[in-house]
């Protein structure tokens, strides 16, 4: 089983979100980058579990600059066999997906796994775009993934429930909660990952289709109105007359 896992960097979930240059770019000051949790916890760990039972090879790929190599080493420390970086700023989902598709095109991966979305841009776009570019089936938001021969059996989220679906390899799958449990790399893995060779691939020429031109922070709420626990009728009246939500 030859598996490609697409990973992205994301700010640590406790990061303070702020912007600079007139709110046109993310303020990276003091921000610790991690592997996007959906990519790491679900896509990468499930890929490693499949490799452990079926044999094969897990390659991780990211689109980014040399400073992003720390997330590649983290993925290697957890257990990936190879790490590839497309040497470019990931301008938008389309640009990123086209870079990964160009790399994967002639490599005959059985599975291409992505996290269901990144926690910084939340677009849920890259997986479907890779699938379309490679003309492969795409199963979005899978919470369970098993392999039997060349059949992939998946559970995917649908509105208010789940569906069990089957598709033959190769396919692109976006991975959501439930697929695997987070793995903490051990010291031996971390040490070994430090000296591993990382593959750097030049970017292909692609024009991005979208750009973020501005950011903004939500206006903070006005002071919270406190209500006595013995006066729930007042709360109900406020929700009805003032907030108008019931």
Partner 1 sequence: MTLVYIHSENGLSKAAKEVVTYAKKLGDGVSVITNGNTTGDVLAELGEYGASSVMVDRSVSSDDHQQLLDLVVFAAEKTGATSIVFSHDLTAKAIAPRLSVRLNAGLVSGATDVPNESGAIRVNVFSGKAFGFVKVNSTKQIISLLPNSIQPEITGGACGVEEINSGASTGRIKLITTKKPEGEIPLPEAELVVSAGRGLKGPENWGMVEDLAKSLGAATACSRPVADIGWRPHHEHVGQTGVAIRPNLYIAAGISGAIQHLAGVNGSKVIVVINTDQEAPFFKAADYGVVGDAFEVLPKLTEAIRKFKAGQN
CB of 244 to partner 1, least distance (A): 9
Determine the interface stretch with partner 1 among 72-80, 82-90, 197-205, 227-235 (rule: CB under 8 A): 227-235
CB of 158 to partner 1, least distance (A): 6
Contacts of residue 173, defined as CB under 8 A and 6 or more positions apart, other chains included, come to 43, 111, 112, 113, 114, 127, 138, 139, 142, 145, 152, 154
Closest CA to 204 of 72, 95, 62: 95
- According to the binding rule CB under 8 A, does residue 204 interact with partner 1? no
CB of 54 to partner 1, least distance (A): 21
- Between CA 197 and CA 211 the distance in angstroms is 33
Cβ proximity to partner 1, 55 vs 149, nearer residue: 149
- According to the binding rule CB under 8 A, does residue 30 interact with partner 1? no
Type and span of the H or E element at 157: strand 151-158
Type and span of the H or E element at 175: strand 171-175
Cis (ω within 30 of 0) for the bond into 170?
Answer: yes
Report yes or no: 166 and 145 within 8 Å, Cβ to Cβ: no
CB of 195 to partner 1, least distance (A): 32
CB of 169 to partner 1, least distance (A): 11
Total residues at the site for partner 1 (CB under 8 A)?
79
Phi then psi dihedrals of residue 39, to 5 deg: -70, -40
Determine the interface stretch with partner 1 among 10-18, 69-77, 78-86, 102-110 (rule: CB under 8 A): 10-18
**Interface of this chain with partner 1, residues 95 to 154, rule: CB under 8 A:** 97, 119-129, 131-133, 137-141, 143, 153
Q: Mask 31-70, x = binds partner 1 (CB under 8 A)?
A: ------xx--------------------------------
Cβ proximity to partner 1, 107 vs 212, nearer residue: 212
**Interface of this chain with partner 1, residues 143 to 202, rule: CB under 8 A:** 143, 153, 157-168, 174, 177-178
Residue 86 vs residues 168, 175, 198, 216, 234: alpha-carbon distances, Å: 28, 22, 11, 30, 59
- According to the binding rule CB under 8 A, does residue 230 interact with partner 1? yes
CB of 141 to partner 1, least distance (A): 6
CB of 196 to partner 1, least distance (A): 28
Closest CA to 221 of 237, 238, 243: 243
């Amino acid at each position: 089983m030859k598996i490609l896992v697409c990973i992205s960097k994301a700010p640590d979930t406790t990061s303070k979100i702020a912007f600079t240059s007139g709110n046109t770019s993310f303020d990276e000051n003091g921000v610790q980058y991690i592997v996007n949790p959906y990519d790491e916890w679900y896509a990468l760990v499930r890929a490693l579990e499949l490799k452990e039972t079926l044999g094969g090879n897990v390659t991780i790929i990211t689109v980014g600059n040399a400073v992003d190599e720390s997330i590649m080493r983290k993925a290697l420390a957890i257990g990936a066999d190879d790490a590839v970086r497309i040497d470019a700023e990931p301008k938008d989902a389309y640009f990123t997906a086209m870079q990964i598709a160009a790399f994967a095109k002639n490599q005959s991966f059985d599975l291409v796994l992505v996290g269901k979305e990144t926690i910084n841009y939340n677009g849920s776009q890259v997986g479907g775009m890779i699938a379309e570019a490679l003309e492969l089936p795409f199963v979005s938001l899978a919470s369970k993934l098993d392999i039997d021969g060349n059949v992939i059996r998946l559970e995917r989220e649908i509105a208010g429930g789940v569906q069990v679906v089957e598709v033959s390899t190769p396919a692109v799958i976006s991975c959501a909660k439930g697929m695997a449990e987070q793995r903490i790399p051990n010291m031996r893995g971390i040490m070994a990952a430090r000296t591993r060779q990382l593959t750097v691939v030049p970017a292909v020429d692609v024009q991005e289709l979208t750009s973020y031109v501005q950011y903004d922070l939500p206006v903070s709420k006005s002071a919270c109105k406190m209500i006595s626990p013995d006066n729930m009728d007042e709360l109900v009246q406020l929700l009805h007359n003032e907030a108008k939500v019931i």
